[in-house]
Amino acid sequence: MGILQELRKNKWLYAMSIPVIVYVFIFSYLPMSAHILAFKQFMPAKGLWGSEWAGLDNLTFFFTGPDWLGVTLNTIYLNLLFIVSGTVCSLCIALLLNEIHHSFIKKVTQSLVILPHFISIIVVNLMVVNFFNGQDGMINRLLKEFGFQMISWFQTPEVWPWLLTIIFVWKGAGWGSIIYLATLTGFSEEYYESAKIDGAKRWQQIWYITLPLLRPTIIVLTLLSLGRIFYGDFGLIYGIIGDNSLLFDSTDVIDTYTYRSLRSTNMNSYSNAAAVALFQSVMGLITILFFNWVVRRVDNDSKLF
């Protein structure tokens, strides 16, 4: 079937998608032209097109440094921790909330678990310092009270990937569960009725009915996050770690590294930043194409595109 024929046949359907197509073209594709910055020696006065070509020079600072591999691996490692624990926790919360039948308690708890999502990172940072600070932080005071050794949290890099993950989960898991919960409530009772008649226990119903039904949603959300696996969560990581270099070993990600490298130089930094972002995007594209291909073989209906 030719394109025109297809368009004519489903013209009303395509017409419904036009607002978004136009919008995305204007607000995403037009400004995307700025990515050309990555290959330019950008001089604002000469403008984007007038600036000289720089080829891949803008990435030199990143790849000739001793740390690029380390920060790239940190980025992937932290993101994997975030994705896995975030997904598991959000799922658990959604499944558990679904088991709460008392409608008032359900409403209240549902609202409470999303609260942390609204707390801005500045405030989170203040709380983290209050909790973990080496001298009179709450955690250390507790440790001391129970006769344990106090820990200099801000000088112990090994614990921070996990602490960041905990903060990430605390902040986002409840919010993330909304999606699953909304999907869950759409499932027909019929599925469960027949299982009950067969004597399936409640957890068996969850395992054999609910989870498989949620699978497409889980896959789509995971795919979407995998595409951004080379992008560190700058807001969270910089907001909490900041410039505490003792923790860089385990927490420095591409975004924070680039930010630090460039903020003090302000030399051509737009181009450098754009080049690193392009590197992250291209790697993300490769990752997502691969996983989308995998998904297509395993579960064709859940593929992204």
Partner 1 sequence: MKMAQRDTSQLAVSAAAYLCIGSFALICFIPFWLMYIGSFTAESQIVKGFRMFPTEFTFDSYRFLFQGSQVYYSSFVSIFITAAGTVAAVLMTSMFSYVAAHPKVKYRYVLSFYIYFTMLFPPGLVGYYLLISNWLNLRDSLLALLLPLLFSAFNAFLMTSYFRTLPFELNEAATVDGAHEMYIFFRIIWPISMPVIATIALFYALSYWNDWFNALMFIDDPHNHPLQMMLRRIVSNSENLDYLNANINIPVSATGVQLSTVVITIGPIIFLYPFLQRYFIKGMTIGAIKG
Partner 2 sequence: MVVSLILTGILAGCSSDGPGPSETGDLPQASEDGRLNPATLKIMFPGDPPAGWDEVKAEMENRLAGTLNVKLNVVFIPWTDVLQKRQVSLSSAEDYDLIWDNNPVQNIAAGLYEPLDELIEKYGADIKANRSAELMEANKVNGKLYAVPLEVNFIRPWTFVIRKDIREQLGVEPIKSYDELIEFMYLVKEKVPEVTPFIPNGTEHIGLRLANMLDPSANIAAVLNYPGLYTKGNDGKVYNIFDNMDPMIMKNFEQYRKLYQDGILAKDALTLKNAEFAKGKAAVSTFFDFGVNLNTRTALEKSVPGASAEAFSLYDPNMKLSSTYKAGNFIAVPVVSKNKERAVQFLNWLNQKDNYDLLAYGIKGKNWEDAGEGLYRPIKDNPYAGVPFAWGWNPKLDRIDASLPEDDIALNKWQRDPGNFTTDILTGFTFNPSPVANEVAQLSNAGAEFYNPIVMGLVEPNEGLAKFKEKAYDNVKKVQEEYQKQLDEYLAGKNK
Residues that bind partner 2 in the complex, under the rule CB under 8 A: 33-34, 37, 42-51, 60-61, 64-67, 129, 133-135, 152, 154-155, 231-232, 234-235, 238, 242-246, 248, 254-255, 257-274, 276-277
Select from 4, 135, 146, 189 the one that contacts partner 1 (CB under 8 A): 189
CA-closest candidate to residue 182, choices 305, 89, 93, 85: 93
If one counts every other C-beta atom within 10 angstroms of the C-beta of residue 235, the result is: 12
Name residues contacting partner 1, limited to 65-104 (CB under 8 A).
Answer: 92-93, 96-97, 99-101
Other C-beta atoms closer than 10 Å to the C-beta of 239 total: 17
Binds 203, which of partner 1, partner 2, none (CB < 5 to 8 A, cut-off by type)? partner 1
Distance between CA atoms of 220 and 303, rounded to whole angstroms? 7
Partnered with residue 40 across adjacent β-strands are 53
Task: Rank residues 10 and 265 by Cβ distance to partner 2 and give the closer one.
Answer: 265
Whose Cβ is closer to partner 2: residue 115's or residue 267's?
267
Element (H, E) at 284: helix 269-298
Distances, alpha carbon 59 to alpha carbons 79, 80, 88, 130, 255, in Å: 23, 25, 36, 39, 14
Which of partner 1, partner 2, none lies near 14, with the C-beta cut-off 5 to 8 A by kind?
Answer: partner 1
**21 contacts which partner out of partner 2, partner 1, none, CB within 5 to 8 A by kind?**
partner 1
276 belongs to the binding site for partner 1 (CB under 8 A): no
Q: Which residues contact 16 (CB under 8 A, 6 or more apart)?
A: none
Q: Where does this chain touch partner 1 (CB under 8 A) — which range of 59-67, 68-76, 181-189, 259-267?
A: 181-189
Query: In angstroms, what is the minimal distance from the CB of 152 to partner 2?
Result: 7
CB atoms within 10 A of CB 68: 18
Q: Which of residues 134-173 bind partner 1 (CB under 8 A)?
A: 170
Smallest gap, in angstroms, from Cβ of residue 35 to partner 1? 7
Task: Identify the three-state secondary structure at position 41.
Answer: strand
The DSSP result for 71-90, as a single string, is: HHHHHHHHHHHHHHHHHHHH
Position 20 contacts partner 1 (CB under 8 A): yes
For the CA atoms of 234, 293, 217, 99, the dihedral, rounded to the nearest 10 degrees, stands at: -100
Closest approach of partner 1 to the CB of residue 46, in Å: 15
Q: Shortest gap between Cβ of 117 and partner 1 (angstroms)?
A: 8
Size of the site for partner 1 (CB under 8 A): 88
User: Closest separation between CB of residue 7 and partner 2, Å?
Assistant: 32
Q: 131 or 191, CB closer to partner 2?
A: 131
